[in-house]
């Protein structure tokens, strides 16, 4: 049925309506519809700067397939926009207007409408419009949705008043967060996920007369106005218009203090009145209503005074502003009292509902503007990976968190929120922050001092944006490089992980927590308790993951020695929080089978809290309790009774809090368990000084991404480079050489920084500020000839040496698991670059990756090979060692396998035949000593003396000399007889057994 037939039907129906109704629908003041898309071919499939339709998605499979299809039943014209989709992540399509033309003016209309061919799927389709800014990809996004709940063609009408500003993602943002409608750049639809589907739409157009409320709004300066008892609050009320035009009509605001927990006449002087913004008033004009509070000399919790507003002639504020008389005179507010007494006093005053709120952590996007913070007494918010304010600046982070903390002041006891973020290698969610090497690279440095400085830089930059809590460090011991989180580990040896836990002091400061209230320290999180690095390949039941979130099957002895040992070290260092793992633990011989860690009371209550003496609080992982068997009530009580103190329920915070309260009231969770959990949480909040520091201290913001912080990251990057092979002394390069640079990772800051950078998964390209490896090389040798050809397609003649930088593209967690669309092989393009360059000249190959890459079949053709790990934003550090400004000193933190079939392969294995053993790493710092076995005998005596004296510095130096001697003799002839004792020696060195380490190195020397 064509649209003409539909319109005839509509006319017939109109004839049956009362005249008043028909007149309202077709009044003379209604402007005619304005077409946006007819889908007859007038708008092509194109991308900016041209006008066009474009598809997009989370990965290569997610964008829908679109066509302009001829249909006899098209509602308008002959064709419709038709599409198919099968989306696992996210996907949809956009109509962007031409970027080289002015934006469109939609302000005269009520809304936007279109015809949709319904399939009655019950699925929600998100519809957004692009407002203001420079173009369609640099605009504000305003969103709403409709549900496909009909069959056949249906006209969907969406008033502009239905659109809300997107808080989860903005391409730029910060324009004005006001739906102006005068500079529109198009629209977009996000299609349903999870199941394949088809759709068709037609005739997108603007309809109706503009709602006056869209062009004129009354706003309040804040939702909450805290004031000390006896003070006067000034509630700011302003008027704003689209395009900042003066008011066309007067706007009247009546106000009255009414309701709330404060008593009129006792706690405050009631106010009531009215004022008018006359026609011609400038947009942004403000009127202040004063609300005086009274002193009654009694110690009291906070009390609220809502100021009810009635607006005529404009859209009223979305919320009623509240004046809050601050809590005062109560012991928990007394900074002179010990933290323990302050906690006990506050806990004694709290209701079960308030306690349950403290145990609840929501994601920032789920709470929107934050009204639910007070409504549900929420204790914590977090930013998931890539969940950032708009714009993504330090100032915007601080403003956002101040806004959320202001909401918490509207609660009875004004308990501040504790805001958490995954800053796992610097403040990695913030564009422009210093991004350090991932933990795998820090493990390669073997330098606890560097790890501590890295933690300190991270803490300073995170706290300067208002965030007091970091979900780091990961203390996993990675035992299988097929794991997508391998790079989050310091290495495969628990002794190495323990050595690098100085990062905890970098983050938190003193072990007793006395530094936590400093503006450059944050609360740290030891994760993931326990065994996440030991999961068996193929054991995961999470989606398409192969190993992440799987089952760790170990003997109790192996559990203690490998996986638990780093957590005891963290507890001894005073770590403030611990996060359990998604994975399950199956202890061989206990006959219990796999137990999800979020339900493992024996490990959390028994081992972590009781035996280890952990006195901080336990925070769940993202929606992790949803993976427990049973219904939701069972998930809640099992996890809380197992020892979890705060539960990360990103969007399910209402359901969680209600269920927790119900479980306590039913007696299935004890009040004692709740009090223990809340006490632990409040203790850390007091230590962090959150009760005293109600707003963000941004004094440290100037240091974010500063030269000093980047110098620390640069040093860490340099120390993390592991020289695996250096035939003929190709490295370091000479500034006089002509250098041919190639490879996918030579000039890509996104690939260089890896996952957990700006977004959860990270991404390729120029995603943040920093220096690529190529840029670093050009800075290190400014007068040298350095040419770059990403795919090595440029001619190779006339160069002295080639540098090929290859490796992985970013990923995070199980999405990076081998077997989940990933392997450990170089891409065909990278292999081709290596083959071409190394076949034409002497070459050095750098592998930028989060785990070893299989290179054995090309090793003989490569002169120098460097494990470059994921060095972060400071490619200068890589250039420093390439050009000899700093020496290569890094050592392998994991075993480098010959083939994927060898995995898992780790130091200590009975059968051990790697490409490069754990601890391997050539150096350009010093020449290996001569003297062979005689020198080793002398070093053995020196090592024994150092061990007896307890001199770690001397012991490491002695073993280091022996290691260099062995590596020089071995060269590339690394046999199993050499590899096993060599790796064992490194483990012994890390364990402080210097004499035994030299003995093992002597064994390796004799086997070479």
Q: Quick check: 896 and 906 in contact, CB under 8 A?
A: no
Q: How far is CA 116 from CA 84, 113, 123, 147, in A?
A: 14, 10, 13, 11
Q: Quick check: 127 and 158 in contact, CB under 8 A?
A: yes
Residue 155 burial by Cβ neighbours in a 10 Å radius (0-12, 13-18, 19+): middle
Which tokens hold the place of 326? 């601050």
Residue 138 burial by Cβ neighbours in a 10 Å radius (0-12, 13-18, 19+): middle
Q: Facing residues of 587 across strands?
A: 554
Label the pairing between strands 111-119 and 197-207: antiparallel
Q: Give Cα 447 distance to the centre of its chain.
A: 26
Separation of alpha carbons 587 and 555, rounded Å: 5
Q: Residue count of the chain, please give it.
A: 1008
Give the contacts of 1000 (CB within 8 A, at least 6 positions apart). 981, 982, 984, 985, 988
Name the 3-class secondary structure at 970: helix
Separation of alpha carbons 175 and 139, rounded Å: 8
Find the catalytic residue in 300, 461, 621, 1003: 621
Give the contacts of 977 (CB within 8 A, at least 6 positions apart). 1004, 1007
Name the 3-class secondary structure at 319: coil
Separation of alpha carbons 830 and 804, rounded Å: 9
Q: Is 621 a catalytic residue?
A: yes
Residue 568 main-chain phi, psi, to 5 deg:
-65, -40
Q: How far is CA 687 from CA 335, 343, 680, 682, in A?
A: 11, 11, 11, 9
CA nearest neighbour of 400 among 369, 362, 366: 369
Helical ranges in 610-764 per DSSP H = 632-641, 653-665, 671-687, 707-720, 749-753
Q: Quick check: 682 and 358 in contact, CB under 8 A?
A: yes
Separation of alpha carbons 739 and 805, rounded Å: 13
Percentages helix, strand, coil for the chain (3-state, rounded to 5) are 30, 25, 45
Separation of alpha carbons 76 and 4, rounded Å: 8
Which tokens hold the place of 755? 């996952």
Which tokens hold the place of 902? 């060898």
Q: Is 697 a catalytic residue?
A: no
Find the catalytic residue in 148, 813, 863, 986: 813
DSSP 901: G
Active-site residue list: 621, 813
């Amino acid at each position: 049925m064509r649209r003409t037939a539909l319109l005839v039907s509509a006319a017939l129906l109109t004839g049956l309506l009362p005249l008043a109704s028909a007149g309202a629908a077709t009044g003379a003041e209604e402007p005619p519809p304005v077409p946006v898309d007819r889908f007859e071919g007038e708008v092509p499939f194109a991308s900016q700067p041209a006008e066009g339709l474009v598809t997009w998605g989370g990965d290569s499979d997610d964008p829908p397939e679109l066509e302009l299809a001829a249909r006899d039943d098209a509602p308008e014209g002959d064709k419709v926009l038709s599409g198919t989709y099968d989306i696992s992540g996210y996907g949809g399509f956009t109509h962007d207007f031409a970027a080289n033309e002015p934006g469109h003016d939609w302000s005269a209309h009520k809304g936007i409408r279109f015809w949709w061919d319904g399939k009655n799927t019950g699925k929600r389709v998100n519809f957004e419009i692009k407002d203001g800014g420079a173009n369609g990809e640099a605009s504000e996004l305003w969103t709403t949705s409709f549900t496909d709940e009909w069959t056949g063609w249906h006209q969907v009408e969406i008033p502009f008043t239905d659109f809300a500003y997107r808080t989860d993602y903005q391409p730029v943002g910060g324009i004005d967060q006001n739906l102006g409608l005068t500079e529109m750049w198009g629209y977009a639809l996000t299609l349903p996920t999870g199941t394949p589907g088809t759709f068709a739409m037609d005739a997108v157009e603007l309809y109706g007369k503009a709602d006056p409320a869209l062009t004129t709004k009354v706003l309040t300066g804040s939702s909450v106005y805290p004031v000390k008892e006896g003070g006067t609050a000034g509630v700011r009320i302003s008027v704003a218009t689209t395009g900042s035009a003066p008011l066309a009509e007067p706007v009247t605001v009546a106000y009255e203090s009414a309701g709330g927990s404060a008593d009129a006449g006792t706690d405050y002087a009631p106010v009531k009145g009215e004022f008018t913004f006359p026609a011609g008033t400038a947009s942004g004009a403000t009127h202040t209503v004063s609300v005086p509070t009274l002193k009654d000399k009694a110690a009291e919790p906070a009390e609220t005074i809502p100021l009810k507003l009635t607006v005529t002639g404009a859209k009223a504020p979305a919320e009623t502003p509240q004046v809050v008389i601050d809590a005062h005179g109560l012991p928990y507010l007394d900074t002179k009292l010990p933290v323990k007494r302050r906690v006990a006093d506050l806990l004694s005053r709290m209701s079960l509902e308030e306690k349950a709120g403290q145990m609840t952590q929501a994601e920032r996007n789920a709470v929107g503007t934050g009204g639910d913070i007070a409504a549900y007494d929420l204790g914590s918010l977090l930013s998931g990976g890539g969940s950032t304010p708009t714009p993504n600046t330090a100032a915007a982070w601080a403003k956002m968190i101040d806004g959320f903390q202001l909401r918490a002041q509207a609660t009875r006891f004004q308990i501040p929120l504790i805001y958490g973020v995954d800053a796992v290698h610097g403040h990695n969610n913030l564009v422009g922050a210093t991004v350090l090497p991932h933990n795998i690279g820090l493990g390669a440095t073997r330098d606890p001092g560097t790890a501590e400085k890295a933690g300190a830089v991270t803490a300073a930059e995170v706290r300067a944006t208002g965030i007091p809590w970091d979900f780091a460090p990961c203390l996993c011991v990675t035992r299988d490089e097929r794991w997508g989180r391998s790079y989050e580990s310091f290495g495969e040896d628990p002794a190495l992980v323990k050595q690098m836990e100085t990062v905890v002091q970098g983050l938190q400061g003193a072990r007793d927590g006395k530094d936590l209230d400093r503006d450059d320290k944050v609360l740290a999180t030891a994760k993931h308790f326990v065994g996440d690095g030991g999961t068996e390949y193929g054991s995961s039941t999470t989606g398409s993951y192969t190993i992440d979130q799987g089952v760790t099957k170990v003997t109790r002895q192996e559990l203690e020695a490998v996986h638990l040992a780093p957590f005891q070290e963290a507890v001894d260092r005073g770590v403030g929080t611990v996060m359990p793992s998604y994975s399950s633990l199956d202890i061989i011989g206990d006959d219990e089978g796999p137990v999800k860690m979020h339900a493992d009371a024996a490990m959390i209550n028994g081992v972590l809290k009781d035996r280890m003496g952990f006195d901080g609080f336990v925070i769940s992982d993202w929606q992790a309790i949803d993976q427990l068997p049973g219904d939701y009530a069972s998930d809640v009580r099992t996890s809380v009774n197992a020892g979890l103190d705060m539960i990360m329920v990103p969007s399910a915070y209402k359901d969680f809090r209600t269920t927790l309260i119900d479980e306590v009231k039913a007696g299935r969770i004890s009040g004692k368990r709740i009090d223990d959990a809340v006490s632990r949480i409040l203790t850390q909040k007091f230590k962090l000084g959150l009760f005293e520091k109600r707003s963000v201290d941004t004094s440290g913001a100037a240091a974010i991404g500063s030269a000093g912080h980047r110098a620390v990251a640069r040093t860490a990057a340099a120390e993390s480079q592991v020289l695996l092979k250096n035939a003929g002394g190709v490295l370091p390069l000479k500034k006089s050489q002509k250098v041919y640079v190639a490879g996918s990772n030579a000039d890509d800051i996104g690939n260089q920084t890896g996952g957990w950078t700006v977004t959860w998964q990270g991404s390729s390209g120029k995603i943040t500020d920093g220096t690529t490896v190529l840029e670093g090389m050009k800075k290190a040798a400014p007068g040298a000839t350095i040419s770059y050809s990403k795919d090595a397609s440029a001619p190779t003649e006339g160069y002295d040496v080639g540098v090929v930088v290859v490796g992985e593209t970013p990923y995070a967690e199980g999405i990076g698991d081998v077997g989940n669309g990933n392997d450990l092989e170089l891409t065909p393009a990278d292999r081709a670059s290596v083959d071409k360059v190394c076949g034409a000249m002497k070459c050095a190959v750098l592998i930028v990756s989060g785990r070893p890459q299989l290179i054995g079949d090309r090793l003989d053709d490569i002169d120098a090979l460097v494990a470059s790990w994921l060095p972060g934003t400071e490619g200068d550090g890589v250039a420093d060692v390439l050009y000899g400004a700093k020496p290569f000193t890094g050592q392998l933190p994991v075993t480098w396998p010959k083939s994927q079939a060898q995995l898992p392969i780790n130091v200590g294995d009975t059968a051990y035949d790697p490409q490069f053993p754990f601890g391997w790493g050539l150096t350009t710092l010093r020449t290996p000593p001569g003297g062979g076995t005689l020198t080793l005998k002398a070093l053995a005596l020196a090592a024994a003396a150092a061990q007896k004296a307890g001199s770690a510095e001397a012991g490491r130096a002695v073993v280091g000399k022996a290691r260099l001697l062995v590596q020089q003799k071995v060269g590339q002839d690394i046999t199993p007889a050499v590899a096993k004792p060599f790796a064992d020696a490194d483990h012994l060195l890390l364990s402080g057994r210097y004499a035994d380490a030299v003995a093992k190195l002597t064994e390796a020397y004799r086997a070479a």
